[in-house]
Amino acid sequence: MPIVAGSHAGSHAGSHAGSHAGSHGEQHAGSPGSALLSHALAVTQDATIGYWRPDHTSIADPHTPSKLNSLEYLSPARRHQVLLGTLLGRFEVKQGPLDGNGISHQATVVLDDRNISAIHAPNLGTLKKQLEWVRNYSDLRDDRIPEITLQTTDIMSFFGAVSLLNLSRREKTMELLSIVQALAMYLEMQVKHYCWLPRPIDFAEEVQPVIQTPDHSAFPSGHAVEAYAIATVLHRLKTGMPANNGATRTSNMPAMDFRVAHRISINRIIAGVHFPVDSAAGALLGCLIGEAVHSIAVGGKLFSTNYGSSGVTLGDDQDFEQNWLANALPAGAGNGDPVEKSDLFNLFWSTAQDEWQPGVNP
């Protein structure tokens, strides 16, 4: 089934996506475009050239950009569109069989016709039991409200505080992470639709979320998907190691980017809009998406794990903790077939990796 565009709670997919609305508003040589500038340019052309005919003009051969293959001739917004389109063309989200209410409760994320993860929604009984965690976590709201509120539209700044992300030092990394987050959003929204489950407030008025409950499915958590996809790619860029390594990096303590991803995920439970099971499934899917992006960049093996229905699951009474994720993720260099490398994406990945490990050939 083709991927359908979606929006997630304030559209925190990054600013590089851009638009194709024409030249007005885009930067000219000296200032942004405007109707006044366009008029002035037309008057200048008429004054300096007057009427002209192509057959009376020396026509130059057009210049071909020397960095065409690496996309360096494009603006970040246009580069984002090309690279995101390259990735989206290889992914698909398949709906599971429908029940009597027309709900499938299952979605399978596929890369190149091979399953990354079949996500099976838990039953309502699981969610009712997990309301106890939602209640207990609500005691942390006073401390977390600033984070919760900002993270409705911006999770990247929290990774930037750990990894020094800025446009002068880590420009290509920021572009790459924006693409990864956008990809995660496209995929997660379809998974949510096929695995629709109610939110905590649907079960109890006492939940009283401190932010607006989104209109889409609670399961899986989109914030968890995006945060862990970002953490996985960052860990790959920094160390070359897979998500399983990041989840258990030092003395059974996760790498810092994975700790940030976990806190972002838990904040959504504290806010009253998610259950721990939403975050667990989202975190697993996010790591697998991040690994899939890496595999497309370098041609590595596919990482594949199912959630639910004989795959890994979070217990009804269990909280989402990092050690659960570390045990759920495939270890080593992948557990599937090699993925066909994208030469175009490989070039871009290399420029991002050079910002962390100069000279390393991915």
Q: What is the CATH number of the domain that holds 343?
A: 1.20.144.10
| Model pLDDT, residue 25 | 59
222 occurs within a structural domain: yes
Query: Which residue did the predictor score with more confidence, 8 or 28?
Result: 28
Residue 21 lies in a domain: no
What is the mean predicted confidence (pLDDT) over 73-88?
92
φ/ψ bin of 172: left (φ > 0), alpha (ψ from -120 to 50), beta (otherwise): alpha
Residue 258 has pLDDT above 90, yes or no: yes
Q: Does any domain span residue 153? A: yes
Please tell me the total number of residues recorded for the chain in this structure.
Answer: 362
Rounded distance between C-alpha atoms, residue 273 and residue 215, angstroms: 11
62-66, 68-72, 229-233, 304-308: lowest mean pLDDT where?
62-66
Across all residues in the chain, what is the average pLDDT?
89
> What does the pLDDT read at residue 221?
98
Instruction: Reply yes or no on whether the pLDDT at 15 is more than 50.
Output: no
Residue 193 confidence class, pLDDT cut points 50, 70, 90:
very high
Quick one: three-class SS letters along the chain? CCCCCCCCCCCCCCCCCCCCCCCCCCECCCCECCHHHHHHHHHHHHHHCCCCCHHHCCCCCCCCCCCCCCCCCCCHHHHHHHHHHHHHCCEEEEECCCCCCCCCCEEEEEECCEEEEEEECCCHHHHHHHHHHHHHHHHHHHHHHHHHHHHCCCCHHHHHHHHCCCCCCCHHHHHHHHHHHHHHHHHHHHHHHHCCCCCHHHHCHHHCCCCCCCCCCCCCCHHHHHHHHHHHHHHHHHHCCCHHHHHCCECCECCHHHHHHHHHHHHHHHHCCCCHHHHHHHHHHHHHHHHHHHHHHHCCECCCCCECCCCECCCCCCCCCHHHHHHHCCCCCCCCCECCCCHHHHHHHHHHHCCCCCCCCC
> How many structural domains compose the chain?
1
Task: Report which of residues 2 and 359 the model is more confident about.
Answer: 359
Q: Write down the pLDDT at residue 333.
A: 78
Whether 61 is in a domain gets the answer: no
Confidence (pLDDT) at 249: 67
**What value does the mean pLDDT take over residues 336-357?**
92
| Whole-prediction pTM | 0.88
40 pLDDT higher than 70: yes
Classify residue 62: in a domain, yes or no. Answer: no
Percent of the chain residues topping a pLDDT of 90: 72
Question: Which strand ranges, in their side-by-side order, compose the sheet holding 114-120?
Answer: 91-95, 106-111, 114-120
Instruction: State mean pLDDT over 110-117.
Output: 95
Query: Is 32 inside a domain boundary?
Result: no
CB 301 within 8 A of CB 293: no
274 within some domain: yes
- In this prediction, residues 30-48 reach a mean pLDDT of 92
202 or 247, which is more confident?
202
Residue 64 included in any domain? no
pLDDT of residue 74: 87
According to the model, what pLDDT value does residue 23 have?
A: 45
Residue 2 confidence class, pLDDT cut points 50, 70, 90:
very low
- Which domain does 271 fall in, by range? 76-353
Q: Tell me the pLDDT band of 14, cut-offs 50, 70 and 90.
A: very low
